[in-house]
Amino acid sequence: MQRLLVTGGAGFIGSNFVHFVVEHTDHLVTVLDKLTYAGNLESLAGLPAERVTFVKGDIADASVVDPLVAASDVVIHYAAESHNDNSLHDPRPFLDTNIIGTYVLIEAARKHGKRFHHISTDEVYGDLELDDPERFTEETPYNPSSPYSSTKAGSDLLVRAWVRSFGLQATISNCSNNYGPYQHVEKFIPRQITNVLDGIRPKLYGKGENVRDWIHANDHSSAVLAIIEKGRVGETYLIGADGEKNNKDVVELILTHMGQPADAYDHVVDRPGHDMRYAIDSSKLRDELGWSPKYSNFDSGIEATITWYRENQDWWRPQKAATEAKYTEQGQ
Ligand code: NAD
Ligand code: TDX
């Protein structure tokens, strides 16, 4: 049993991780989360109080972070500003949270000699052409495109420097696009599902040819646990489940599962600098740590996700109107 400090545990992937830890381990969890527009305490509802403690606070505030890190065995750092579209309109919070927040956390982990795991994204590697036979590996050079991905790249480099210069006991994982329950309705898959539930046509950026490499959030969680348990300190592990799909195919799948004509969507203005394709080679994680994904059937994963959004309207409705109003302003 270990005491885990999970930053961003009221967000999409962090809350899925907390549920996964409670179900599959005997670890104790403290969640540190600022509850920005993207954080939702309802995502942690029903978890046992003797296993999960919640602290509201900012990771960039050393006075909050320091005692929590001191009282933990492992810090797992999910908290971030996470949405590319937001970063194109208001980059500043991305620097404050993703760069300064990570700096404050690794300073505390260094001071107290704690194991640290940094959650990052495949977007730090930039994008691939549609017909490129290569996929991202741990050796791919960093080449981020957006304010979001450049701040994530910056945070990864800080962690690497703290490992080398100060002996920080850290690992890093870079995962591909996640889907599943508790994802904010600003993101692609929940936006389209909740649009269809509201009688709004799904919105595809540009031609919809862009490819994302989808993984279920539970597979991301099991990979992170494997890295914490068996990963080599100082190493980076890519996490992916061979789930490449273009956006048009995903929208058609959602529409079909929801009983609509497969072409009942609109094309809207493209995202500036829109990355064309992400694809992960997760051989290192699989070969070294024996990890493999369990939710490999995207079709049934999407069906279960649709059911979750249909049955949990109280969870997402409060955010929906404001999210769509923002997109309408942006022509998206
Ligand atoms: P999210 O936006 O759903 O959740 C982020 C959480 O962090 C929220 O609960 C928010 O309140 C909290 N937070 C933000 N700023 C904070 C601050 N200053 N202090 C404390 N808490 C703060 O994001 P997500 O999609 O769950 O992503 C989680 C992590 O996983 C991020 O680091 C992201 O870069 C990474 N990641 C995401 C994906 C994906 O597909 N969503 C893929 C790979 C990696
Ligand atoms: O309405 C939409 N229509 C559309 O076509 C939205 C919201 C998105 N898209 C496209 C843009 C992308 O090609 O769908 C794809 C996925 O978009 P997002 O859900 O915004 O994800 P992405 O930009 O790929 O980034 C995600 O994966 C990597 C997460 O948001 C990041 O936090 C993570 O690092």
What b-and-e string marks burial along 141-158, b requiring 16 or more CB atoms within 10 Å of the CB? eeebbbbbbbbbbbbbeb
Q: What residue has token string 């080398």?
A: 164
The dihedral built from the CA positions of residue 128, 131, 137 and 140, taken in this order, carries a sign that is negative
Q: Residue 269 phi/psi, 5° resolution?
A: -55, 140
Give dist(CA 108, CA 329) in Å, integer: 41
Q: Is 129 exposed, middle or buried (0-12, 13-18, 19+ CB in 10 A)?
A: exposed
What is the tens place of the pLDDT at every residue in 281-322? 999 999 999 999 999 999 999 999 999 999 999 999 999 999
- Ligand 2: which residue has its CA nearest to atom 32? 82
Give dist(CA 230, CA 96) in Å, integer: 31
Number of helices (H) and strands (E) in the chain: give both, helices first: 12, 13
Q: What is the pLDDT of residue 132?
A: 97
Would residue 37 show up in a list of annotated catalytic residues for this protein?
A: no
Would residue 107 show up in a list of annotated catalytic residues for this protein?
A: no
Ligand 1 proximal residues by C-beta, below 6 Å: 7-8, 10-14, 33-36, 38-39, 58-60, 78-82, 97, 101, 119, 121, 152, 175, 177-178, 184
Ligand at minimal distance from the CA of 87 is: 2
Ligand 2 contact via 212 beta carbon (within 6 Å): yes
Residue 80 tokens read as: 């971030």
Q: Is the pTM of this model over 0.95?
A: yes
3-class SS of residue 24: helix
In the predicted model, residues of the chain with pLDDT beneath 50 are: none
User: Which CATH superfamily groups domain 3-184+215-243+275-296?
Assistant: NAD(P)-binding Rossmann-like Domain (3.40.50.720)
Secondary structure in 3-state letters for 216-240: EHHHHHHHHHHHHHHCCCCCEEEEC
Spacing, Cα 171 to ligand 1 middle (Å): 18
What is the tens place of the pLDDT at every residue in 160-206? 999 999 999 999 999 999 999 999 999 999 999 999 999 999 999 99
In angstroms and rounded to an integer, the radius of gyration of the C-alpha atoms of the chain is: 19
Would residue 125 show up in a list of annotated catalytic residues for this protein?
A: no
